[in-house]
Structure 1
Amino acid sequence: MTLMSGTESPNEFKLDSVATDCIQSLKFGNHSNHLLLSSSWDCSVRLHDISSNTLRVKYTQSAPVLDSAFQDSHRVWSGGFEQNVKVYDLNASTETIVGSHVGPIRCVESSPEVNAVVTGGWDAYVKLWDPRAPSAIGAYQQPDKVYTMAVCGDKVVVGTAGRRVLVWDLRNMAYVQQRRESSLKYQTRCIRCFPNKQGYVLSSIEGRVAVEYLDPSPEVQRKKYAFKCHRNKDNTSGIEVIYPVNAISFHSGYNTFATGGSDGYVNIWDGFNKKRLCQFHKYPSSISSLCFSPDGTYLAIASSFLYETEETRDIPPDAIFIRRVTDQETKPK
């Protein structure tokens, strides 16, 4: 393992053989702390073994891949600009097209609780797939393009354009359980659910994060709140620069969560006690994706240039950092 240069992170290393264009998604296996999937704009899906820092598998599609997820230990689902939902068998090195959307596929999530895979696309549809069936078992229209999606037990929380949030029950998709509007004023970037399944965290393009609860009762809804983050005040001009919050990932054991922004920083938050636990050092470019390992010992951090500025000289290469996190960084105080 090549440790990072500099004294800031002896507990962090860079993965070898990563994508060469924006890394859009990172996912660990449901029960694996060492196998990490990355999907990227260089049209590849890669399976990394972080324990030996090796690239186990790489396969490509004809267009950028925006998301992928493990169905189980040897099958990976993926989707992107090709508009096809694909299943790749890691053991047999074979790829199967199981269906498609009529627009780019933005989100691919696996739900072990109901043995299903859920995809969301810019065609404003969420599709439900039973891995044993030859095609989608349902297609459900959303109010607008799907930007982000999170499985929360037997529910799925969908964030669309127009700041809409929909909560569906995967066991009964006949109707939407809840329709909400984001409590943030600007475009939704990411939604992730609390491991205890009580709620979700939503981020936007203007340096804000909202903590929301699924229980619609007024007393529970009173607990929801939002806070500012990933902002930077210029000391000379006094101007505050506000950055999109692109990525969120929860620690499975502590219900704390990490956020990654276009400022190149990763913060760890205690959402219940409303405080920041720590901030890591600055990464080379925007944080495009984050994922804690299932046991919470590692945080995978994707650093990719997201073309949010006109300045395109000296763009740092895309990178994935693996950080071994400590209780001091992730446990509520």
Structure 2
Amino acid sequence: MEKPTAADFQLPEAPKDGISTVHFSPSSALLGAASWDGKVHVYQASTGEKRQELSHPSAVLSSTFTDTDRNLVSGGLDRTVRFWDVETGQGDVLLRHDDAVRCVYHSPQHHLTCSAGWDARLNLVDPRSSPTEASPTSLKLPAKAFALSGVGNRVVVATAERHVYVYDLRSTKEPEQRRESSLRYQTRSLRCMPSGEGYASGSIEGRISVEFFDPADDVQAKKYAFKCHRQTGPDGVDVVYPVNALAFHPTHGTFASGGSDGVVHVWDGKKKKRVRQLPRYTTSVASLDFSPDGTRLAVAASYTFDEGERDHPPESVWIKELTDSDVKPRVKA
């Protein structure tokens, strides 16, 4: 990586194994990092000081805060979703799957924790219910889940075989929409627009699609896909990298993508232009998140094993202090 600026700092105690997810708390004060070391590491976002470690018996594939900074949910290879008190470090099993829990999402509007797994199930529960009183909803997906996101009343799941299911959390008996991904290859990342208009998804084949919920023909005509996270090899042929991570800025509407090429791009989705490319990291960018107040970007640099088992740089987590030039759409003079 190029020398970081004064506005970037590296967390001093990064997870020691692959990083699955980084995510800010609702107030932007805390940062969580789920890892294959079986823990969710919680840090003070302003200083990088580690505040807590929350342990599963095996790799944690996803985590997110719930309605407040105090509580967090996580899921992983142990087939459980756990609900944590970040202050005390105490946790309870909230949901169970029949295979690994690939991704979790929490809807603050509906107070619902959603988990999607390799068992092709989407499970929903209110984490405020006690474990004995909780009555989860379990929905059958068409194939194993790879990515999950939500906004407002909607939650979106991308699965194997290029399926994308959109659910309305007010009525989940049937999907609101069943879609086929615009991307020809497996979905690796998915994130809903803060505006609620649609979502972006990234594939293992270095492409991003931008799609919209409104089924009207004039709105669907706006969807598009583009190539990214590619480098020209010594032989002049494109080397294509997976798009591992996507994150929307909460106010400007731009979005960031992170790939196995170690690069983070910031895009203006409306103008279909790149706003910024950050200095390259030493290994794959595995996860990204903007803070809810829009002032910071968290970047997990962690080898994603696209090239199999090999020596690789150690895991690192970076927090970038943002300026308008980093994330604001460019206005022509």
Is the aligned partner of 1:129 residue 2:125? yes
The 1:310/1:91 distance shift into structure 2, 3 A limit, reads: closer
Greater than 4 Å deviation, 4+ residue runs = 5-8
Is the aligned partner of 1:54 residue 2:54? no
Alignment match, 1:16: 12
- Report the AA paired with residue 75 of structure 1: N
Contact 1:99/1:136, CA 8 A, preserved across alignment: no
Alignment match, 1:298: 296
| Residue segments in structure 2 that go unaligned for 5+ positions in a row | none
The separation in 2 between residues aligned to 1:6 and 1:69, in whole angstroms, is 30
TM-score by length of 1: 0.95
The separation in 1 between residues aligned to 2:97 and 2:135, in whole angstroms, is 10
SS in 2 for 1:283: coil
Q: Which moved more, 1:40-49 or 1:85-94?
A: 85-94
Alignment match, 2:327: 330
Alignment match, 2:151: 152
Q: How does 1:110-189 map to 2 (within 5 A)?
A: 110-133=106-129, 134=131, 135-189=134-188
Alignment match, 1:255: 253
Contact 2:32/2:64, CA 8 A, preserved across alignment: yes
Give 1:33 shift.
1.8
The 1:222/1:18 distance shift into structure 2, 3 A limit, reads: same
Contact 2:95/2:123, CA 8 A, preserved across alignment: no
Alignment match, 2:265: 267
SS in 2 for 1:76: strand
SS in 1 for 2:326: helix
The separation in 1 between residues aligned to 2:145 and 2:238, in whole angstroms, is 30
The separation in 1 between residues aligned to 2:4 and 2:71, in whole angstroms, is 37
Give 1:91 shift.
2.8
- Report the AA paired with residue 268 of structure 2: D
The 1:330/1:112 distance shift into structure 2, 3 A limit, reads: same
Contact 1:108/1:119, CA 8 A, preserved across alignment: yes
- Could you tell me the percent identity over the aligned residues? 41
Give 1:93 shift.
2.6
Q: Which moved more, 1:18-27 or 1:131-140?
A: 131-140
1:271-306 CA-partner distances (Å, limit 9, x unpaired): 011000010111010000000000111100000111
1:201-260 CA-partner distances (Å, limit 9, x unpaired): 0100000000000000000000000000000012x4111100000000010001100000
Contact 2:28/2:292, CA 8 A, preserved across alignment: yes
Contact 1:48/1:54, CA 8 A, preserved across alignment: yes
- Report the AA paired with residue 275 of structure 1: K
1:110-146 CA-partner distances (Å, limit 9, x unpaired): 1011111111111000000112333343000000011
Q: Which moved more, 1:133-142 or 1:171-180?
A: 133-142
Aligned length: 326
